């Protein structure tokens, strides 16, 4: 990954932070994108402390214009963009009877439209520079299975899953691969409930770690794995493969 330029959105916290740190550890230069300045700058600081190279870009992915400006700035600063990780997102849960159109739009515009606009803008740079590239969309197991009151989130993640294979076809001529990762429960904070209850949903008998997702990103974007595109890798300790049965 040495000399690779990587954009990671939502890299101030959780899964995105781990992904940014993992790429920097592999020698990549990382554009840390987040709307949260304090969190984003902390990620950059961590990367520097570990001997890596990163820059923070504060934007809101709900704003197409801010995305366009950000991609231009990254291209100007680093000269190219090799990898884009669309990870910024919100996990909103509302009772479906009270879910307003404004709340729906907010989740879709963050999780789905943001990934589309970022992909479109980065793909333009990759096409122009003629050395291909790789895009990863962080989806969710909620693209395939549901819990109550998750309509907007589930639709955004189902959408990003379909966006992945649509883009993979459209961008293949320009040597751009597009894949998704669908994580199960990932422990990104100090959530006792996650450890004490949710691990039971995973046949692996633990919740996931952000690094479980970060390692898969590195694998998928490794140029040696360039026969993989349009794929959606589920990283959920077997949860979506589990049959519920009672004797």
| Structure token pair of residue 192 | 């006792």
Return the residue of 1, 8, 13, 19 that touches ligand ADP, per CB under 6 A: 13
Give the integer Cα–Cα distance in Å for 44 and 188. Answer: 18
Classify the phi-psi angles of 38: left when phi > 0, otherwise alpha if psi is within -120 to 50, otherwise beta.
Answer: alpha
Give the integer Cα–Cα distance in Å for 149 and 161. Answer: 20
187 contributes a contact to ligand ADP by CB under 6 A = no
Residue in the structure block whose two tokens are 């993992």 = 22
16 contributes a contact to ligand ADP by CB under 6 A = yes
Return the residue of 1, 24, 39, 171 that touches ligand ADP, per CB under 6 A: 39
Return the residue of 110, 141, 179, 229 that touches ligand ADP, per CB under 6 A: 110
What residues are annotated to the active site?
153
Q: Which residues pair with 9 in a beta bridge?
A: 33
How many residues are recorded in the chain?
A: 247
Report the nearest approach of ligand ADP to the CB of residue 180 (Å). 14
Q: What mask, x for binding ligand ADP by CB under 6 A, covers residues 44 to 83? A: ----------------xxx---------------------
Which of 23, 2, 243 lies closest to 136 in space, CA to CA? Answer: 23
Stretch that binds ligand ADP, among 9-17, 116-124, 127-135, 231-239 (CB under 6 A): 9-17
- Name the residues that contact ligand ADP, by CB under 6 A: 10, 12-16, 34-36, 39, 60-62, 88-90, 110, 188
């Amino acid at each position: 990954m040495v000399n690779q330029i990587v954009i990671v959105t939502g890299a101030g916290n959780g899964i995105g932070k781990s992904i940014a740190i993992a790429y920097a550890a592999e020698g990549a230069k990382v554009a840390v994108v987040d709307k949260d300045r304090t969190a984003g700058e902390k990620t950059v600081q961590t990367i520097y402390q570990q001997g890596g190279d990163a820059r923070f870009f504060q934007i809101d992915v709900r704003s197409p214009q801010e995305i366009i400006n950000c991609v231009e700035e990254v291209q100007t600063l680093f000269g190219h963009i090799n990898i884009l990780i669309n990870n910024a997102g919100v996990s909103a849960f509302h009772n479906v009877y009270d879910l307003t159109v404004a709340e729906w739009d907010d989740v879709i515009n963050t999780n789905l439209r943001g990934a589309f606009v970022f992909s479109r803008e980065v793909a333009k740079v990759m096409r122009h520079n003629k050395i291909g590239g790789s895009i990863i969309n962080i989806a969710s197991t909620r693209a395939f299975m549901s819990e109550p009151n998750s309509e907007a989130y589930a639709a955004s993640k189902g959408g990003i899953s379909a966006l992945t294979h649509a883009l993979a076809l459209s961008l293949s001529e320009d040597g751009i691969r597009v894949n998704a990762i669908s994580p199960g429960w990932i422990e990104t904070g100090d959530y006792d409930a996650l450890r004490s209850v949710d691990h039971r949903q995973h046949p692996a008998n633990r919740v996931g770690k952000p690094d479980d997702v970060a390692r898969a990103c590195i694998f998928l974007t490794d140029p040696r794995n360039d026969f993989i595109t349009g794929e959606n890798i589920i990283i959920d300790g077997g949860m979506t493969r589990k049959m519920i049965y009672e004797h």
